[in-house]
Amino acid sequence: MHSIQDLQQIIEKAVKETNYPAEPKELYEPISYLMSLGGKRLRPALVLMATDLFNGDINEALSPALAVELFHNFTLMHDDIMDKAPLRRGKPTVHAKWNEAVAILSGDVMFVKAYQLMIKVKPQILSQVLEIFNQTATGVCEGQQIDMNFENRDQVTIPEYIEMIRLKTAVLLGGALKIGALIGEASETDAQHLYNFGESLGIAFQLQDDILDVYGDPEKFGKQVGGDIISNKKTYLLIKALELAKGEDFIELNHLLSLKTFKSEEKVVAVRAIYDRIGIRELSDIAMQAYADKALKEFELIKVGKGNKEVLMEFAEILVGRQH
């Protein structure tokens, strides 16, 4: 079994060694740029770990792992245009550094490159791998659209929110794991358990992200703490708070959400105080833990030796227990 550090080094090395054509440079430079900004490389690591879980050859999983990372970064490049985001990992987004047309087209070609890497799997699993990849990609696009639709809606329910993050975030974790499992020649049943594990883990991961956005350590959290509160983002925390807030809290929360001008820090403190009074953090932790437990149960059903499971188990714990 390969350690998490080993696998991450393998991925970083492969990302660095990937070369794109020199011309047209507006098409390929943004790919190298975005890929070089780093990130946790969580999704490609999951592909390799899944292959390793079934004693597969991780060298066979490397191209598909890179494909998954390229796909993820392609969605970030396009999402950043749609969200008009100026920064990504503290650096200018592609559409900000170049322009929108470049970010659209460079993203498109990045998606093609992802397919080019993905089809390097063995012929006997090619069709199945591509079906998973296509389904995953469809889910991610649907999730992004639903997320954008939420911005224009007054009310969003918790089940709707969970379905949105399942599509936008979790299916790709599940898909990455299932592709890795197929490369490792897992049985259909085991591959499906691993997919389910990834999907539930992905939901827990996103809920943890929502919690950290409000309660994270500003020193450790990569993004601006309170960003979701400032932008009225309908996260698990806000939706739950709107459901549970009563009397003065309900009135004040709605007032804070309606402000057109405000001091960011003051709004964050005020909303957080309401969350604290209702116990939103604890409720969110419980929800997050429920999905983490659901993930664990699926993982336990997979028929491989306990020793093989340690690395992926450790990685899952880091993901949902992370402080940043």
The residues binding a copy of itself (CB under 8 A) are 24, 26-27, 78, 81-82, 100-102, 104-105, 107-109, 111-113, 115-116, 119, 123, 126-127, 130-131, 134, 137-138, 141-142, 144-146, 148-149
| Cβ distance to a copy of itself smaller for residue 163 or 249 | 163
DSSP helix/strand/coil, 87: strand
| Cβ distance to a copy of itself smaller for residue 28 or 221 | 28
Integer Cα distance of 280 and 290 in angstroms: 15
DSSP helix/strand/coil, 1: coil
| Cβ distance to a copy of itself smaller for residue 131 or 293 | 131
Contact 7, 317 (CB under 8 A): no
DSSP helix/strand/coil, 192: helix
What is the nearest approach in angstroms of a copy of itself to the Cβ of residue 160?
11
Q: Read out DSSP for 126-172? A: HHHHHHHHHHHHHHHHHHHHHHHHHHT-S---HHHHHHHHIIIIIHH
Integer Cα distance of 269 and 42 in angstroms: 32
What is the nearest approach in angstroms of a copy of itself to the Cβ of residue 38?
24
- With CA atoms as reference, report the closest residue to 237 among 187, 315, 176, 165: 165
Half-sphere exposure in the Cβ direction for 208 (13 Å, CA): 22
| Cβ distance to a copy of itself smaller for residue 100 or 293 | 100
What is the nearest approach in angstroms of a copy of itself to the Cβ of residue 156?
13
Q: How far is CA 222 from CA 86, 87, 89, 217, 314, in A?
A: 15, 12, 7, 9, 22
| Cβ distance to a copy of itself smaller for residue 140 or 212 | 140
What is the nearest approach in angstroms of a copy of itself to the Cβ of residue 5?
33
> In sequence order, which residues have a C-beta less than 8 Å from that of residue 144 and are 6 or more positions away?
75, 79, 82, 168
| Cβ distance to a copy of itself smaller for residue 1 or 109 | 109
| Cβ distance to a copy of itself smaller for residue 112 or 259 | 112
CA 256 to chain CA centroid, Å, is 29
* Residue 216, Cβ density class (10 Å: 0-12 exposed, 13-18 middle, ≥19 buried): buried
Task: Kindly state the DSSP code that residue 298 receives in the 8-state scheme.
Answer: H
What is the nearest approach in angstroms of a copy of itself to the Cβ of residue 24?
4
What is the nearest approach in angstroms of a copy of itself to the Cβ of residue 78?
6
What is the nearest approach in angstroms of a copy of itself to the Cβ of residue 106?
8
Integer Cα distance of 65 and 44 in angstroms: 4
What is the nearest approach in angstroms of a copy of itself to the Cβ of residue 75?
8
| Cβ distance to a copy of itself smaller for residue 6 or 163 | 163
DSSP helix/strand/coil, 280: helix
What is the nearest approach in angstroms of a copy of itself to the Cβ of residue 179?
14
| Cβ distance to a copy of itself smaller for residue 43 or 193 | 43
